[in-house]
Amino acid sequence: MPLILGFTIAAIGILPPGLINMTAAKVSVVDGRNQAISFAIGATIIVLLQSYIAIQFAKFINSRQDIIILLQEIGLFLFLAITLFLFWTARKPQKAKQEIKIHSKSSRFFLGMLLSSLNLFPIPFYVFVSVTLSTVGLFYFNSLFVYLFVSGVVIGSFTVFYLYILYFKNHQKKSDYLIKNGNNIIGSITGLISLLTFFKLINTFWK
């Protein structure tokens, strides 16, 4: 279960078009698949470190019930804001995306590590996710569970990067569908998480 859970959550978090996965697709077009895979490996290594650090931080605060409730409240408003933002942007006309320019011909592995390091969103994302899931009995902070979960995150992240590399050029229609509908898909998921968090908070305060 933790392996599948980590894979699913990572895939959901990385699936929407963003700087890293779009750059991976661009590297594939410009420099070839092998260079793009090297880029994806570099980015995934950083995701591994970020998710592990986030879970260790979540483990530390998990023993503090007052902090957990505070994080749930913050997480509720955060996920609601993300949900509304995603649905709002999904309704806006799609503008032509600016081409991602890749100037350097140096190692794509380190470029992947650099861009992934600049993206700090995974740390608070995995903190909120792990704490929220632990409150409903779907996440445990023992070593085996954490290692399997992080392994799932690594596999899920690399899989999404690889799919962008593999299909962005050769399956343009599928890529366009993902780009156009990605916000609606992720917005629905964050909306569901918001509902679960809301009911959990009501149950906590009711007691």
In tens, the pLDDT along 121-141 reads 788 788 888 888 887 788 998
What pLDDT is recorded for position 145? 94
Token pair of 177 as six digits: 């569908």
In whole numbers, what is the pLDDT of the chain averaged over residues? Answer: 76
Residue 205 burial by Cβ neighbours in a 10 Å radius (0-12, 13-18, 19+): exposed
Tokens 């408003």 belong to residue: 77
What pLDDT is recorded for position 13? 83
Q: Return the exposure string of 2-33: e unless at least 16 CB atoms fall within 10 Å of the residue's CB, then b.
A: bbebbbebbbbbbbbbeebbbbbbbbbeeeee
* Interval 88-110 mean pLDDT: 58
| Confidence check: pLDDT of 106 > 60 | no
What pLDDT is recorded for position 96? 46
**Residues whose CB falls within 8 Å of the CB of residue 150, separated by 6 or more in sequence, listed in order:** 6, 48, 51, 52, 55
Check: CB of residue 40 under 8 Å from CB of residue 161: yes
What is the distance between the alpha carbons of residues 207 and 202, in angstroms, rounded to a whole number? 9
| Confidence check: pLDDT of 6 > 90 | yes
Element housing 169 (H / E): none
Task: Render pLDDT for 146-163 as a digit per residue (tens, 0 to 9).
Answer: 999 999 999 999 999 998
**pLDDT above 90: percentage of residues in the chain:** 24
The amino acid at 30: V
Q: Return the exposure string of 76-106: e unless at least 16 CB atoms fall within 10 Å of the residue's CB, then b.
A: bebbbebbeebbeebeeeeeeeeeeebeeee
What pLDDT is recorded for position 164? 87
- Highest-confidence range of 32-36, 80-84, 180-184, by mean pLDDT? 32-36
- Domain ranges (residues) in the chain: 2-206
Which ranges constitute the DSSP H helices of 32-137?
Answer: 33-61, 65-91, 108-118, 122-135
| Confidence check: pLDDT of 177 > 80 | no
72: nearest Cα among 130, 14, 122, 119: 130
Q: Helix, strand, coil shares of the chain as percentages rounded to 5?
A: 80, 0, 20
What pLDDT is recorded for position 59? 84
* Interval 102-106 mean pLDDT: 48
CA distance from start to end of the chain: 30
What pLDDT is recorded for position 24? 84
Token pair of 103 as six digits: 């100037």
Check: CB of residue 200 under 8 Å from CB of residue 136: yes
| Confidence check: pLDDT of 204 > 70 | no
| Confidence check: pLDDT of 105 > 70 | no
What pLDDT is recorded for position 183? 53
What pLDDT is recorded for position 74? 66
